[in-house]
Chains A and B, each alone.
Chain A
Amino acid sequence: MPGKLKVKIVAGRHLPVMDRASDLTDAFVEVKFGNTTFKTDVYLKSLNPQWNSEWFKFEVDDEDLQDEPLQITVLDHDTYSANDAIGKVYIDIDPLLYSEAATVISGWFPIYDTIHGIRGEINVVVKVDLFNDLNRFRQSSCGVKFFCTTSIPKCYRAVIIHGFVEELVVNEDPEYQWIDRIRTPRASNEARQRLISLMSGELQRKIGLKVLEMRGNAVVGYLQCFDLEGESGLVVRAIGTACTLDKLSSPAAFLPACNSPSKDMKEIPFNEDPNPNTHSSGPSTPLKNQTYSFSPSKSYSRQSSSSDTDLSLTPKTGMGSGSAGKEGGPFKALLRQQTQSALEQREFPFFTLTAFPPGFLVHVGGVVSARSVKLLDRIHNPAFVGIMGNTRSYKLLDWNSFNADEPETRDAWWAEIRQEIKSHAKALGCHAVVGYSESTSICEEVCILSASGTAAVLNPRFLQDGTVESCLEQRLEENLPAGCGFCHIPYDELNMPFPAHLTYCYNCRKQKVPDVLFTTIDLPIDATVIGKGCLIQARLCRLKKKAQAEANATAISNLLPFMEYEVHTQLMNKLKLKGMNALFGLRIQITVGENMLMGLASATGVYLAALPTPGGIQIAGKTPNDGSYEQHVSHMQKKINDTIAKNKELYEINPPEISEEIIGSPIPEPRQRSRLLRSQSESSDEVTELDLSHGKKDAFVLEIDDTDAMEDVHSLLTDVPPPSGFYSCNTEIMPGINNWTSEIQMFTSVRVIRLSSLNLTNQALNKNFNDLCENLLKSLYFKLRSMIPCCLCHVNFTVSLPEDELIQVTVTAVAITFDKNQALQTTKTQVEKSLQRASTDNEELLQFPLELCSDSLPSHPFPPAKEHLESASSNSGIPAAQRATSVDYSSFADRCSSWIELIKLKAQTIRRGSIKTTVTVEKASPMSEGNFRNRSAPPCANSTVGVVKMTPLSFIPGAKITKYLGIINMFFIRETTSLREEGGVSGFLHAFVAEVFAMVRAHVAALGGNAVVSYIMKQCVFMENPNKNQAQCLINVSGDAVIFVRESELEVVSSQPPTANCQSSCPGGDVTT
């Protein structure tokens, strides 16, 4: 199915002076796609040329459309010598290939040169006509949508989550080809940029084909990475989760849907449900197409409905899941069987998602990870794989090298690792891995491949093709108390994969829970958390002898288990020190350098109400007879206890007191515990097994037996909490904060330190590294002090070791302001939390009519709404306070505009005394407030350049994403031979990072978007040679281009008469002008 690509070059501006004599430029443009090139006329003597070209038309295959970037080169015409290149623009036209995304790319693009950086801008218009419209996406992967977001995108509904897709492509790196010796650095850089662009296009197309094979239509949590392997080549690999997504017709939802027959039948019954009784008779509501109901609170669960017909359709599953709550064991196994059958046909039951539709995640087992050391020169080498099952047991596996007959391709390497992960998950009694990610660290010819994820038991419904209706899931959730279900152990307590300390769940008191839970996913929205969360990092360095090839790989393999063990111990200690009992978003990065290994683990610690209160940390000296030593130990002990108490206060951790009898005593460790369920590969040697089961003892005991241990304890205490008004986490949202205001600031910070070679001991190294990270955080807090109170979310640290004595740390995060006063009033009930979530993406409500307010609102389209509301909610039995808030939160306007009348009433009545007071004010007088805002924050008012927000999060606080325009995936190289003149390494990189941001923003704006969500800087490789006055940097970024609309604006839209709505239902354009 061919297509026609049309390109028009409109104008340029701010071009550099190319002709010294006239101080002007004679610019023209070459437009290249595949092997076809067009040229514009030369626009003489101007720095702001107006080419206004004809439409250049390329007739191409859709395969090319997907693979090739559009390449635009701006040149200076020279009559006598070769034309000088000013710079280039690469445009990925993929977003134009799916029906729902952008229709045109039009705007100003920075003209980029790998040596000079940005040199002016060019205005380009790009369109694609795909032939054979009706059958548009049947035979190619053109129609498959890609999302970097690791959750179901906000304006979509997941029909089926198919599972893991992966692909990698390999090529020679142009930088290492023989020709590189004779060509200019510019030519080499451009060859590389172009090649990677091509490879990622090809990769995306191939993944798309796999998705179509699975009958999906989208990839969510798409993560593409480059491995610069040097001599041995360039690997581009990607993983993602294939899904079938349904677009929620959000613009239509603003319109009075009642009057116009909606195209999407699925939406209608909810909007139009004429039955006025539903509110009082909750159980009667289930609409045929209502997919599932998620119950955010106990009080609500009795509302959930069941229709027996549905149950009978899938009796087996129903039985398994329905009983999971009460009887545990055998039934759980049944449920597992059910799900397993759905997952079994999959090679790898992995999901790159970190946040899930409610009800998807049933249980979480713990973190599973695997690492493998490989030599890049294709020599077989010993492989190492480790496991951290529920973060407690540690095993060394498979010391024998892999079958020598196996082809040592990159594909096979990853397959091995994935296989490991799968078996680890199985050992934890889980059939799936969520929050899955893969990474590499390369130094010379050694490469560490890592994969990690969270073992989990999933609800099978989403995984099956025949959509099972809601009833059985409702059953399941009815019985599983919300907010703690995922904490319950998925494995058999009599047959535990590792020694653990189990108690009955502190929430439901029915099921067993571990005492600590580590995961790589985001905190589930329905989880009950006490207090606030905080960023917890474990940092570690280990010196390593310089070695070659195999010896090097062996040395690294030998070090890895100790590093993992120490990282884990540090995390555990720090978690206890914070008085918390669970980690989310755990990411452990092991980086290999010439003479050292670095480990950096980041996670967000929280106190889960369902898990037991963590024991303290006890310090024990090894030489008890020494008096002064004893004193010292007790001093340390006091310090630690003080810190824990202080942290509990700081993070507002005051769990309700629960007497022991209620909970029941800890389950005695079954003596006959067998290890049948363990991963098979580990069978080889019991000796190497490291026991991390500190949990057996009530308090965590640290033994100080030498100075090393002393140092460790000290370093525990050196972590300074952020200044007041600051919080930080590496997850999407900060547990315990739910009143974000709209100000966001995304940033990247890079630091490189040079170690003095004299003091290279492990201790000194650890201290340096620790200081580096701590100082970096301190700097961030200082820089962002004007945003207080604020929270650094999605803090993402990356460590690399570019040279012998250099450590580079790159941090990308977003600072979001929140309203402190409101925070104080907030009680942390579940209802509110899920409501809060609902307010950040109203779309979710669209799918779950029963969810929050079905008891009161949707059934009452008619005016005497106030009374009805009151009565309705009092019928529902929700305590009054919650009622008020619950009504307030959801923006009904988005859901169905037929409730406009109702909203107005609501604004006057119910919102009073709600938590979100400021929002109420805004909503009550949208016009005046809106105007005022425009004046006080003029960015959108009279700026000539549209503001494009960037955030690593999947949402924008206070705003609603109305459209996904496509994936942004860009790779840039910048090189300089005049490092000093550009302000040294800092000046060079500062400018480059700013340029990368600018190019991302320009591409988003050209697609018609006003934000990038799920933005990530995947790579920032920096190399310098100060002696030669040279430096080079490679940056790879990605994210989802979106259009968002401020919630306040939405209110304006929805409170206007319906006629006005039609014009404003596609407000993206206005915002981006």
Chain B
Amino acid sequence: MTNELDIFVGNTTLIDEDVYRLWLDGYSVNDAVALRVRSGILEQTGATAAVLQSDTMDHYRTFHMLERLLHAPPKLLHQLIFQIPPSRQALLIERYYAFDEAFVREVLGKKLSKGTKKDLDDISTKTGITLKSCRRQFDNFKRVFKVVEEMRGSLVDNIQQHFLLSDRLARDYAAIVFFANNRFETGKKKLQYLSFGDFAFCAELMIQNWTLGAVDSQVDDMDVDLDKEFLQDLKELKVLVADKDLLDLHKSLVCTALRGKLGVFSEMEANFKNLSRGLVNVAAKLTHNKDVRDLFVDLVEKFVEPCRSDHWALNDVRLFLNQYSASVHSLDGFRHQALWDRYMGTLRGCLLRLYHD
């Protein structure tokens, strides 16, 4: 006796959160059943394995049918086939678009193309996330990217509107889209200590201050592309390190202000010119796409690592950066105060976030 056909359809579509998670995690029906058995559900409910199998199949079928709609979440809200309470709809969408930290760190900043998709096999082996789940997450990134890529208006708002994600998740997706578009390198070994949260934080600051949208909210791609003009202008900052007088003045202003307040004052004093040169050169190089991609590598190499090797405390870094950027206002010969603030304001935030073990 075999079940040739076995279905259950409720007027309100039944969603089992646990099974949904297993499905999202890419387990096959049999694996999912095994995992559910291990969770002790049989003992709790007195059900048999056959019942569990049938239940899991049903849910998987439902999810499979829902997947098409989840690709365009507003459709899920307007469709008539599945009657699902809004709270459940939100849960379905949110979970579907949720991603694994391990996975996103592998893909962040990479081109969301067929080539990357081919690498998913390796990512799956490396992270232990099923290939199916990797594909779903990758396709989600790509889908969101395609939809909002050339849209005007706020990136986060656009994502929220078209994918009905929570604010938190929409921000994460904004970061992913931003990184993918600018192809920031995040995979280098020295960047491995950074979490997705670190990058997302930086992305948000950069979107707010360094993109076209920061100056004009009526442009296409406003939040996705960096403001080219601004990047060009950053060359002007070079004077801060090129002009020896200016550099010395800057250093003395910072040192005067920080004397006695910094635990690593002598190290700072000794390293000031190197650090300053590093930060300004990063800015000056941003005209080249290649250097934009290496932004985070450069920041870590030129600033985070030197400070870390001298055992700066985070608070020391904060005091230094505050003083470092503020002191520029007192440099009479420097005319690009606004530019400096736009650059350094964001960079300071990023560096503080990036400065940890």
Contact = CB atoms under 8 A, between A and B. Distances in A.
B4 A752 contact: yes
Given A778-B48, A779-B54, A947 B83 contact: yes
B34 interface: no
B6 A785 contact: no
Contacts of B83: 945, 947-948, 997-998, 1001
A745 B4 contact: no
Interface stretch (B9-17, B213-221, B224-232, B325-333): B9-17
Contact of A995 (B77, B81, B85, B87): B81
A757 B62 CA distance: 32
Residue among A781, A939, A942 with the highest chain B CB neighbour number at 10 A? A939
A939 B2 CA distance: 39
Q: Classify chain A's interface size.
A: 35 or more
Contacts of B78: 13-14, 121, 944-945
Nearest to B47: A782
A749 B52 CA distance: 15
A779 B54 CA distance: 8
Q: Classify chain B's interface size.
A: 35 or more
A998 B6 contact: no
A705 interface: no
A598 to B, nearest CB: 15
Given A779-B54, A945-B78, A748 B47 contact: no
A778 B47 CA distance: 7
B80 A945 contact: yes
B50 interface: yes
A243 B13 CA distance: 37
A783 B54 CA distance: 10
A177 B82 CA distance: 36
A699 interface: no
A781 B4 CA distance: 21
Contacts of B334: none
B55 interface: yes
Given A753-B4, A785-B45, A745 B55 contact: no
Contacts of B61: 983, 986-987, 990
A272 to B, nearest CB: 42
Nearest to B8: A749
Interface in B220-263: none
B64 A983 contact: yes
Given A746-B10, A983-B64, A723 B54 contact: no
Contact of B11 (A723, A747, A989): A747
A345 interface: no
Given A785-B45, A943-B86, A994-B9, A753 B80 contact: no
A878 interface: no
Given A754-B1, A938-B86, A986-B61, A949 B11 contact: yes
Contacts of B82: 994, 998
A986 B11 contact: no
A756 interface: yes
Contacts of A986: 5-7, 57, 61
Nearest to B46: A723
B51 interface: yes
B85 A938 contact: yes
B36 to A, nearest CB: 11
B37 to A, nearest CB: 13
A781 B52 CA distance: 11
Interface string A771-793: 11001001111110100000000
A745 B75 contact: no
A1022 B77 contact: no
A60 interface: no
Contacts of A13: 78
**Interface of A (DSSP majority class):** mixed
Residue among B4, B6, B58 with the highest chain A CB neighbour number at 10 A? B4
A987 B45 CA distance: 27
A804 B306 CA distance: 81
B55 A783 contact: yes
Contacts of A14: 75, 78-79
B191 interface: no
A750 interface: yes
B125 interface: no
A783 B86 contact: no
Residue among A944, A994, A1001 with the highest chain B CB neighbour number at 10 A? A994
Given A753-B4, A783-B14, A990 B77 contact: no
A312 B203 CA distance: 94
Interface string B122-152: 0000000000000000000000000000000
Contacts of B13: 994
Contacts of A993: 7, 9
A750 B87 CA distance: 28
Contact of A990 (B7, B14, B75): B7
A745 B12 contact: yes
A991 B65 contact: yes
A967 B287 CA distance: 71
A753 B86 contact: no
A157 B15 CA distance: 41
A806 interface: yes
A939 B86 contact: yes
A754 B50 CA distance: 16
B5 A747 contact: no
Interface string B180-222: 0000000000000000000000000000000000000000000
B6 to A, nearest CB: 5
Given A750-B5, A944-B78, A990-B65, A778 B51 contact: yes
A219 interface: no
A747 B8 contact: yes
A997 B7 contact: no
B282 to A, nearest CB: 44
B3 interface: yes
Contact of A771 (B1, B7, B55, B58): B1
Residue among A752, A768, A948 with the highest chain B CB neighbour number at 10 A? A752
Contacts of A780: 8
Interface in B73-104: 75, 77-83, 85-87
Interface string A726-753: 0000000000000000000111111111
Residue among B50, B82, B86 with the highest chain A CB neighbour number at 10 A? B86
Given A783-B14, A991-B65, A753 B3 contact: yes
Interface in B157-185: none
B1 A755 contact: yes
A787 B62 CA distance: 20
A957 interface: no
A577 interface: no
Interface in A90-139: 108, 110, 118, 121
Interface of A: 13-14, 108, 110, 118, 121, 723, 745-756, 768, 771-772, 775, 778-783, 785, 806, 808, 937-939, 941-945, 947-950, 983, 985-987, 989-991, 993-995, 997-998, 1001-1002, 1022
Give 8 closest A-B pairs by Cβ, nearest first: A752-B5, A747-B10, A993-B9, A752-B4, A746-B11, A990-B7, A950-B11, A749-B8
Given A753-B3, A775-B50, A945-B79, 9 more contacts: A118-B80, A723-B45, A778-B48, A949-B11, A983-B64, A985-B4, A990-B9, A993-B9, A995-B81
15 contacts: A13-B78, A110-B80, A118-B81, A748-B8, A752-B4, A753-B2, A779-B51, A808-B5, A938-B87, A986-B6, A986-B7, A990-B58, A997-B83, A1001-B11, A1002-B80
